Chain A
Amino acid sequence: MSGKRISMVEKSNNKRQRVNQVPKFSINDHHDVLVEILRRLDGPSLCSAACVCRLWSAVARNDSIWEELCFRQVSPRPSLSLRSVVSALGGYRCLYFLCIRPVLARLPKLRWTRDQLQLSLSLYCVHYYERLYVGAWLGDAPPSSLMFLRKPVNVV
């Protein structure tokens, strides 16, 4: 029997089995495999994956996955000492959600290179210090400078 036919038979068997019993392989039993797969997703897919179930949500919070996502198209790779700075400011996941995601949502074809990453890191610092100083003086008022990322903009 050729490989293709075997897998076709297996596929139809699996479909029948699914109605009656739990399939033999459950990805949630294999944390390592899940991490390896989620590491290789792009931003929108990773956000989708975080909504699948509690385990996936927990794994998707892993900051190293977001670090990899931020640096994926950046060449040469930024130095590792950057990691401790970004962690102190709130982590890569926060950086991505706050400064990178709004941009990519509007400009999905944008090539994310070193310059864009530098700009987002600067914005992230601004956000952090505003929360630290502006927040402290004016009570719980949210920092206003990054709100421009949330306003609808006519982007060509």
Chain B
Amino acid sequence: MSSSKKSSDGKSSEIEEAVASLTMPFNKILLTSSDGESFEIDEAVARKFQIIAHMIEDDCAGKAIPIDNVTGDILSKIIEYAKKHVVEPDEDEDEEAKKKLDSWDAKFVEKLDLETIFKIILAANYLNFEGLLGFASQTVADYIKDKTPEEVREIFNIENDFTPEEEEAIRKENAWTFNG
């Protein structure tokens, strides 16, 4: 994956790249996944992962950084997201760009199954990539919004380990409506 891959609308990505190149030295960082896949990315993109940003600051980011907890397929998805979000558009200043990015985000998760999203959350947590962690977690939260406990158990394949009495008490405690 090389950095020369540009997004479809040329102008905004040109501005993004100009800003990135003014503020960061044009260095490349090599990331290696747990299963041996390598990804070469710009320093600006790598800095989205706080764990790597700290390594760069402390001068211990060598040529290649091993990411032992993340497999190649997940890492590639994360890098794809990071590249798109290198420069976050300000909601007040550039509403159009924010809307475009939101729609890209929606399409990004649409084709992912729940297990992949979990792995992305775990990896984003490990890499300390706040933006993607928040977005992926919100996606799963939206998925279980307004669902009954039975439906949630079905989705995550969780066993109901309450005793009938416990379940009765818990449901009563957490009831959303009062009957009189």
Contact = CB atoms under 8 A, between A and B. Distances in A.
Interface residues of A, number: 43
B159 interface: yes
A152 B174 CA distance: 19
Contact of A36 (B125, B157, B158, B180): B125
Given A36-B133, A45-B145, A27 B170 contact: no
A41 B116 CA distance: 20
Interface in A38-81: 38-45, 47-54, 56-57
A56 B158 CA distance: 10
A44 B176 contact: yes
A151 B178 CA distance: 9
A30 B125 CA distance: 11
B146 A45 contact: yes
A27 B140 CA distance: 11
Nearest to B145: A45
Given A23-B115, A52-B152, 20 more contacts: A3-B111, A7-B113, A7-B116, A10-B115, A18-B157, A25-B118, A30-B122, A36-B125, A36-B137, A38-B141, A41-B141, A44-B146, A48-B149, A49-B149, A51-B167, A52-B158, A53-B153, A53-B162, A101-B176, A150-B178
Interface of A: 3-4, 7, 10-11, 14, 18, 22-28, 30, 32-33, 36-45, 47-54, 56-57, 101-102, 105, 150-152
